[in-house]
Amino acid sequence: MAISSNGYQTGFGNEFATEAIAGTLPVGRNSPQRVAHGLYAEQLTGTAFTAPRHANRRSWLYRIRPSAVHGEFKSFEQPRFHNDFGTGPVTPEQLRWNPLPAPSAPTDLIDGLFTMAGNGGSAAQAGVGIHLYAANRDMQGRWFYDADGELLIVPQHGRLHIETEMGVLDVEPQEIALIPRGVRFSVSLPDGEARGYMCENFGAMLKLPDLGVIGSNGLASPRDFQIPNAAYEDVEGDFELVAKFQGHLWRAYIGHSPLDVVGWHGNYAPCKYDLRRFNAIGSISHDHPDPSIFLVLHSPSDSEGVSNMDFVIFPPRVLAMQDTFRPPWFHRNIASEFMGLVHGAYDAKAEGFVPGGCSLHNSMTGHGPDAATFEKASSADLSQPDYISDTMAFMFETRAVIRPTAQAIAASHRQREYQACWAGLVKHFRAPA
Ligand SMILES: O=C(O)Cc1cc(O)ccc1O
Ligand SMILES: [Fe+2]
């Protein structure tokens, strides 16, 4: 069983139409009395029926069997992958981790998920679940869907071949994949192993930010988002469908591949985006701008301007600001910040923040450049620009505090000495005589 890519369409949130067999899509209606080729019609909605037109997302899928056809759901445990973010005290300490160790036993993407942190939950339809994955095996005869949230997958090492109901996404490090709530998929690993990050967004669907005074271009361009063309398989066998529903995993027998959608149309679909295409906007006079300038996608909350989650990147760029401490400043924010590094080095941390690693700085926790970065940037020659190259860091930034899981705090890959990176920031103050 393997479906290869049937190519892509482009445009974030567009109305798409695609068929793997010509003549599949009905013309002038969505649900004709009989669908072409003996297919079933099925609607998949991602927003309320009555959501305003600009926010309304749904697609029509024309498939070999309806998605209702499968066995009984039974509880399924993958104890490292969950939404138990706890209700007790949460440490305000700065936290950092090394990459998740590679599995020793054969482990597919679902078994390789490790929940690091999160807030809110599917019942509240707000917050995020933040997970790492490390896998070394394809998902075999197994498909997954997440009813709790949209999935933002950030591969860090190894490519992912993601076969979804709506077509195939081939994703490599420095690209991201977005899988809408409910869409069934399986993942195989063309490089035999893979490691990365996965954010489960329980809130409103991710969207491109408004550009305001930036104008009509800049940041992530809608045309750079790639949406798969329909691709399907007609396969029967003894398989399993794994669902994530209300924070728990469930498993049902399924006698066929659910990737049986021959054609679909609509604006609710998976997509991928190459972060290297991001058009970074920055300061060309003085001062280091707020990181919102690097916003790729955001999940709005009910309060205007306050996101449930912002997905921000720190891509290669040129820094030319004058009379300025060029790296990120020391700061405390109302928002909470979970960061990861896909490639290279991050300009606020001379060492210790490694590709595949991650950090957590919660609301009002002081953080910023480490001592080595401070020393270097405080005396750097500003007559020359800094070419920040070979880098791709990112941040999941949320309005609610990000609660690390008990297993993340206890993990052997946690850097228990992280705070020491600021210990060298000695007193330079001398009161004028
Ligand atoms: O903490 C961080 O490294 C992320 C970050 C980067 C930046 O340029 C400004 C603020 C901020 O929180
Ligand atoms: Fe920060």
Answer whether residue 134 is part of any domain.
no
> Is the per-residue pLDDT at 348 higher than 90?
no
**Token pair 């996101």 in the structure block, residue:** 307
**H or E element in which residue 407 lies:** helix 406-410
Token pair, residue 224, equals 């750079």
| Ligand 1 nearest atom to the CA of residue 294, by list position | 8
Answer whether residue 105 is part of any domain.
no
Ligand 1 midpoint to CA 427 (Å): 23
Binding residues for Fe cation: 331, 337
* Tally of structural domains, the chain: 1
Mean pLDDT, residues 372-390 taken together: 96
Residue 404 per-residue DSSP state: E
CATH number at residue 390: 2.60.120.10
pLDDT digits (tens, 9 = 90+) for 126-155: 999 999 999 999 999 999 999 999 999 999
Q: What's the pLDDT score for residue 265? A: 98
Q: Is 88 left (phi over 0), alpha (psi -120 to 50) or beta?
A: beta
| Ligand 1 nearest atom to the CA of residue 397, by list position | 12
Ligand 2 midpoint to CA 314 (Å): 12
Q: What's the pLDDT score for residue 350? A: 83
Answer whether residue 357 is part of any domain.
yes
CA dist., res. 80 & res. 217, Å (int) = 41
pLDDT digits (tens, 9 = 90+) for 333-343: 999 999 999 99
Could you write out the DSSP letters of every residue in 112-137? TEEEEEEEEETTTTEEEEEEEEEE-S
Answer whether residue 232 is part of any domain.
no
Closest to 3 in 3D by CA, of 189, 236, 161, 179: 161
Closest to 410 in 3D by CA, of 138, 137, 43, 115: 115
Answer whether residue 41 is part of any domain.
no
Answer whether residue 304 is part of any domain.
yes
Parent domain of 319: 278-414
Ligand 2 midpoint to CA 378 (Å): 19
User: Which residues sit with their C-beta closer than 6 Å to ligand 1?
Assistant: 288, 291, 328, 331, 337, 348, 361, 367, 395
| Ligand 1 nearest atom to the CA of residue 327, by list position | 8
pLDDT digits (tens, 9 = 90+) for 103-124: 999 999 999 999 999 999 999 9
Answer whether residue 388 is part of any domain.
yes
**Token pair 């005589």 in the structure block, residue:** 433
Answer whether residue 302 is part of any domain.
yes
Enter the ipTM: 0.98
Mean pLDDT, residues 243-257 taken together: 98
Confidence band for 1, pLDDT divided at 50, 70 and 90 = low
Residue nearest to atom 11 of ligand 1 (CA): 291
Substitution site in 326, 336, 395, 421 for ligand 1 pocket (most atoms within 8 Å of beta carbon)? 395
Confidence band for 297, pLDDT divided at 50, 70 and 90 = very high
pLDDT digits (tens, 9 = 90+) for 388-407: 999 999 999 999 999 999 99
Substitution site in 96, 292, 314 for ligand 1 pocket (most atoms within 8 Å of beta carbon)? 314
Confidence band for 48, pLDDT divided at 50, 70 and 90 = very high
Q: Which residues are identified as catalytic? A: 288
| Ligand 1 nearest atom to the CA of residue 367, by list position | 1
> Is the per-residue pLDDT at 101 higher than 70?
yes
Q: What's the pLDDT score for residue 81? A: 98
Q: Which numbered ligand comes closest to the C-alpha of 319?
A: 1
User: How much is the mean pLDDT over the chain?
Assistant: 97
Ligand 1 midpoint to CA 181 (Å): 29
